[in-house]
Amino acid sequence: MAVTSTTHATAILERDRELAALAAVVDSARAGRGALAWVEGPPGIGKTRLLDAARSRARAAGDTVLAARGGRLERDFAFGVVRGLVEPLLVGAADDLLAGAARLSAPAVAPGRADSGDHDTASTLHGIYWLVANLAERGPVLLVVDDAHVADASSLRALAYVARRVAELPVAIVLAAQSPVDHVEPAVVDALRDAATVLLPAPLSPGAVGELVDARLGPSPAAFASACHEATGGNPLLVAALLDAVLEAGTGPRSESVAELAPGVVAAFVARRLRETGADAAAVADAVAVLGGSAELRHVVAVSGLDAERVARAAETLVAARLLAPGRPLMFGHSLVEQAVTDRIGPAERHRAHRRAAAALADEEASAELVATHLLRTEALGDPTVVAGLREAGRVALAKGAPETACLYLRRAVAEPPPVPERAAVLHELGTATARVSYREGVELLEEAFAVAAHPIRRGLIALELARALSVTLAFDRALHVLDEAAAGLDDGELARELAAASVSLARRDPARRAAAAELTRTLRRDGRLPPQGGPALLAFAALDALQTGDPAAPDLAREALATTLRAYAPDPGVVLPATMVLVAIDHLDPVRACAEGMLASARRRGSTYDFVSASVLRAQTRYLAGDLTEAEADARLADGLAAEHEVHAARRYTVAWLVLVLVERGRADEASAVLDSSGVQGDLAYLLAARGRLRLALGRHEEAVADFLTCGERLAHRGIHHPGLLPWQVGVASALHALGREEEAVDAADQAVRAGREFAAPRALALALLTRGLVGGTVEPLREAVTLLGPTPARLELARTHVELGASLRRANQRVAARAELAVGQDLAARCGADGLVERARQELHAAGARPRRVAVTGVGALTAGERRVAELAADGLSNREVAQALFVTTKTVETHLGHVYRKLGVTGRDELATRL
Ligand SMILES: Nc1ncnc2c1ncn2[C@@H]1O[C@H](COP(=O)(O)OP(=O)(O)O)[C@@H](O)[C@H]1O
Ligand SMILES: [Mg+2]
């Protein structure tokens, strides 16, 4: 029976279209445009055979061919398939392959070479992409994944990530999956299929079946061939198996015998063969099946209980019987054979066999996950060693950035069940892993862990984790309660202070508890006992308090908080956000920018897209405030693109807010509107409300603008933030009311803003308020004061705006000469900020003031788009295209395209000229 597809005695029939399509994919990759093919069909239809054809073609052309297949067991092994693909490359020195961002793949593909620290999923995927990109530097590559329907989800996700960018690499990817595809992650399968040329090999025609018949049995009657076609539905594997059975039965090509032999032809064949080959062979076949259809001889020895000599002999018999493919590892010829063997093993025997397999693998110190794939399939017997093995595997999977896999192991560990004293710890680990996938489900498990934990230290550790997950799901009250409860059981010590710090951060949100939280902060600080984790957060909140009360210590506290958290492996957003808020409110932009740079460097080192996004947003904010709109747009765009791609919803609200705000100031309100709508981002985040209010103001939707700004103010007040320097919602309200002709209310709102500005002595906020007050009341004096106030601040955009508005007011008062002077200064400043809307407004006012219209030419650096500018800067810093791509989390091709545009716009010919032109 031709159930092995490793040797092809017969020609491949009726696959011209499929072969041409696969050739096109392989050749396209060779030509530098990577592509993807997805072969799908029932078992035996000829998928593997097609994959083999693609491999031969690529190999003949000298490409690197890497192949792996999914397996029932490997499915539970995070990145198992990817590891199978790249393992042959990593046996020797592979430093160039794991260079740059590719090193982020190490925890998944080469655990021995991994650096320490946790890895998030996005960074691992990014690393795998770069590993493939590095490999493709050496020449064209073909990646082949057979049986993708049983590939592990992490690997498929990585392949989909590569697939999305593959058009820019000389890399072909060919996958095969059994239909109907029933994968745990249907979305990933869909993504791959959508990106691919889909091939659905059809059943063979009666004519082709006739050819197979004649090739096997010699010239045979047409009626027999057509009976074979009908019985097998044209499935080549079933045809082969049926012909085998006919040959064995010795009936000759008689149509009547077909009906008799056809049913369950593979299962019948396997059963018959195993009877003939004897007990040792059957035991070896069972062991190979239990080991996942592909196994090392020594593992078969351990599972079957036979010695090596007997296993080797039985394996030979099985190869001769064409159940196993020749060679090592021991492997079934076809998945249908594997299935038939597996189906024969009883559940009790299967459990025992998996237990033996796990023990054997554990003995030779195989990877914890490999051991765990077997432990998962044993019967739950309350065995502590099983629990220990699964917990270890959970830790490994989590460190790889595969929390789903970790959950799988840990759920099974809970079900074992663990010894009573261990239960809380296992639930704690499961809850922590689950929270990485879904906070809501993580909360449930951590609550359970918290309820069963008895030891105060364990309870404290669980409480920290649970409170974090609870606050993400916005259950702040419960979070505080949990922290209090855990703290009550602890003596004073590091953990107790850590709990106190966590509760301070939370209590800040609650007006009723805010005062107590501030008091606790002061106590902890005075005693000099800031906890290592929560300490910087306390400093940041102390800074926020100081800001509100006008305490001059605010900037120092905020700076100290930032410095401390930046020294950590990963800076804590819970520190960065409040501390930078304080500094921004009082226009200390330098330390905020330095913090953003520090975070960017750290995010690159760790490959954390999430932190990269947060840091880019922060830098966008500082650049916006300093009136550097081109740069701000570049940061905001990059961050928003990444947040959208990686579906970091929490961060997306910030990226959209800043992008919208920047685009409005750039004079592109319609584009801002499109960004906001298409993002689908909603919610009552103060930043987002302020940005939307500003957009609506620009679009003339004044009623809605008023509502947004008022809600923004309420949000801030609810968080206890009254400092006017953070978000200019009050002046927004005043401007929108003014535009609506509700003058009295507008004056009131502007007056309030001015009072707040004076009360907090916040120059930028006060200047903005005065500007608005002047515009609302039609007086010039407040505008003059605003110009004076803004002079020493870094707020160039606001200064430009104030000059322009002052000029416009003077023009209305018929002081045309003075007006023109202000307008010219304002226009020039606005142009340097990249505030195109304001430039245009100044131009119109100048015209009205009798100046000869002057258009500010946009050439040179000003003509660069935000993305081009960002790439050009890094290239000018001496980074190679690959390094720029890795630093910006984009592909090399994107960098090349951008640089091409940059060269053309700047009229330079190479990167060495860039530095002088930027
Ligand atoms: N088009 C074809 N013409 C002739 N034989 C084929 C064809 N496709 C597959 N076969 C044979 O059928 C058997 C099953 O094919 P295989 O590729 O292993 O199927 P699948 O991977 O879809 O389960 C193999 O022996 C293979 O050589
Ligand atoms: Mg196959």
CATH for 50: 3.40.50.300
- pLDDT above 70 covers what percent of the chain? 96
Ligand 1 atom nearest 12 alpha carbon = 3
Nearest CA to ligand 1 atom 26: 5
Cis peptide before 180 (omega within 30 of 0): yes
Q: Which of 398, 402, 408 lies closest to 377 in space, CA to CA?
A: 408
Ligand 1 atom nearest 2 alpha carbon = 25
Q: Is residue 372 part of a domain?
A: no
pLDDT of 4: 43
Residues 171, 36 share a domain: yes
Nearest CA to ligand 1 atom 24: 5
**Strand residue runs (E) in 514-643:** none
Residue 839, CA distances (Å) to 679, 697, 797 in order: 29, 18, 11
**Strand residue runs (E) in 61-195:** 64-69, 141-146, 171-178
Residues 74, 179 share a domain: yes
237 C-alpha vs ligand 1 centroid, how far in Å?
Answer: 6
pLDDT of 56: 96
Ligand 1 atom nearest 49 alpha carbon = 17
Find all residues with CB under 8 Å of 411, minimum gap 6, and list them.
Answer: 430
The ligand that comes nearest to the alpha carbon of residue 44 is 1
Phi/psi of residue 171, each to 5°? -130, 125
Q: Is residue 411 part of a domain?
A: no
46 C-alpha vs ligand 2 centroid, how far in Å?
Answer: 7
Q: Which of 785, 255, 794 lies closest to 805 in space, CA to CA?
A: 785
Q: Is residue 390 part of a domain?
A: no
Give the helix, strand, coil percentages of the chain, each rounded to 5. 70, 5, 25
Q: Is residue 327 part of a domain?
A: no
148 C-alpha vs ligand 2 centroid, how far in Å?
Answer: 10
Nearest CA to ligand 1 atom 16: 46
Mean per-residue pLDDT over the chain, rounded: 89
Average pLDDT, integer, range 770-788:
94
Residues 575, 430 share a domain: yes
Place of tokens 């308090």: 545
Task: Note the pLDDT tens digit of each residue in 143-202.
Answer: 999 999 999 988 998 999 899 889 989 999 999 999 878 777 888 899 899 999 999 999
**In this structure, what DSSP letter does residue 112 have?**
G
pLDDT of 580: 95
Which residues, by Cβ under 5 Å, contact ligand 2, an ion? Answer: 47-48
215 C-alpha vs ligand 2 centroid, how far in Å?
Answer: 22
178 C-alpha vs ligand 2 centroid, how far in Å?
Answer: 8
Nearest CA to ligand 1 atom 13: 237
Last residue of a domain, one of 174, 199, 224: 199
41 C-alpha vs ligand 1 centroid, how far in Å?
Answer: 11
Q: Which of 52, 216, 237 to mutate to test the pocket of ligand 1 (most atoms within 8 A of CB)?
A: 237
Average pLDDT, integer, range 212-216:
94
Residue with the bigger pLDDT between 188 and 18: it is 18
Ligand 1 atom nearest 45 alpha carbon = 22
Last residue of a domain, one of 238, 263, 288: 263
Q: Is residue 381 part of a domain?
A: no
Task: Note the pLDDT tens digit of each residue in 444-491.
Answer: 999 999 999 999 999 999 999 999 888 877 788 899 999 999 999 998
- pLDDT above 90 covers what percent of the chain? 57
Residues 781, 892 share a domain: no
3 C-alpha vs ligand 1 centroid, how far in Å?
Answer: 8
pLDDT of 5: 42
Nearest CA to ligand 1 atom 27: 5
- Degrees to nearest 5, angle at CA 397 with 393 and 398: 115
Q: Which of 49, 239, 243, 332 to mutate to test the pocket of ligand 1 (most atoms within 8 A of CB)?
A: 49
Ligand 1 atom nearest 3 alpha carbon = 25
**Strand residue runs (E) in 323-482:** 324-325, 330-332
Q: Which of 427, 434, 438, 437 lies closest to 461 in space, CA to CA?
A: 427
Residues 242, 137 share a domain: no
| Ranges of H-type helices in 335-383 | 335-344, 347-363, 368-375
Task: Note the pLDDT tens digit of each residue in 820-862.
Answer: 999 999 999 999 898 989 999 999 999 999 887 555 555 566 7
Strongest mean pLDDT among 117-121, 304-308, 646-650: 304-308
537 C-alpha vs ligand 2 centroid, how far in Å?
Answer: 55
With left for phi above 0 and alpha for psi between -120 and 50, is residue 46 left, alpha or beta? left
46 C-alpha vs ligand 1 centroid, how far in Å?
Answer: 3
Nearest CA to ligand 1 atom 15: 46
Residues 789, 717 share a domain: yes
Ligand 1 atom nearest 335 alpha carbon = 23
CATH number at residue 871: 1.10.10.10
Average pLDDT, integer, range 528-556:
83
Q: Is residue 554 part of a domain?
A: yes
Q: Is residue 27 part of a domain?
A: yes
316 C-alpha vs ligand 2 centroid, how far in Å?
Answer: 22
Are the beta carbons of 311 and 297 closer than 8 angstroms?
yes
Ligand 1 atom nearest 51 alpha carbon = 17
Nearest CA to ligand 1 atom 4: 12
Ligand 1 atom nearest 176 alpha carbon = 21
Residues 797, 719 share a domain: yes
Report whether pLDDT(647) > 80. Answer: no
Residues 552, 449 share a domain: yes
Ligand 1 pocket, CB under 6 A: 2, 5, 8, 10, 12-15, 41, 43-49, 236-237, 240, 334
pLDDT of 858: 53
CATH number at residue 667: 1.25.40.10
From 563-577, 850-864, 891-905, the region with the lowest mean pLDDT: 850-864
Are the beta carbons of 769 and 763 closer than 8 angstroms?
no
Residues 619, 489 share a domain: no
70 C-alpha vs ligand 1 centroid, how far in Å?
Answer: 18
d(CA 666, CA 629): 7
From 388-392, 641-645, 689-693, the region with the lowest mean pLDDT: 641-645
237 C-alpha vs ligand 2 centroid, how far in Å?
Answer: 10
Q: Which of 4, 5, 242 to mutate to test the pocket of ligand 1 (most atoms within 8 A of CB)?
A: 5
Q: CA-based Rg of the chain, rounded to a whole angstrom?
A: 34
Last residue of a domain, one of 825, 855, 888: 825
pLDDT of 3: 45
Range of the domain at 751: 600-806+817-825
Residues 873, 760 share a domain: no
Number of domains in the chain: 5
d(CA 864, CA 907): 12
Q: Taking the CB of residue 278, how many other CB atoms lie within 10 A of it?
A: 11
Surface-to-core class of residue 714, CB atoms within 10 Å of its CB (0-12 exposed, 13-18 middle, 19+ buried): middle
Residues 464, 488 share a domain: yes
Q: Which helix (H) or strand (E) holds 38?
A: strand 35-41
334 C-alpha vs ligand 2 centroid, how far in Å?
Answer: 7
Residue with the bigger pLDDT between 132 and 401: it is 132
Ligand 1 atom nearest 15 alpha carbon = 1
Residues 547, 443 share a domain: yes
Q: Is residue 677 part of a domain?
A: yes
Amino acid type, 11: A
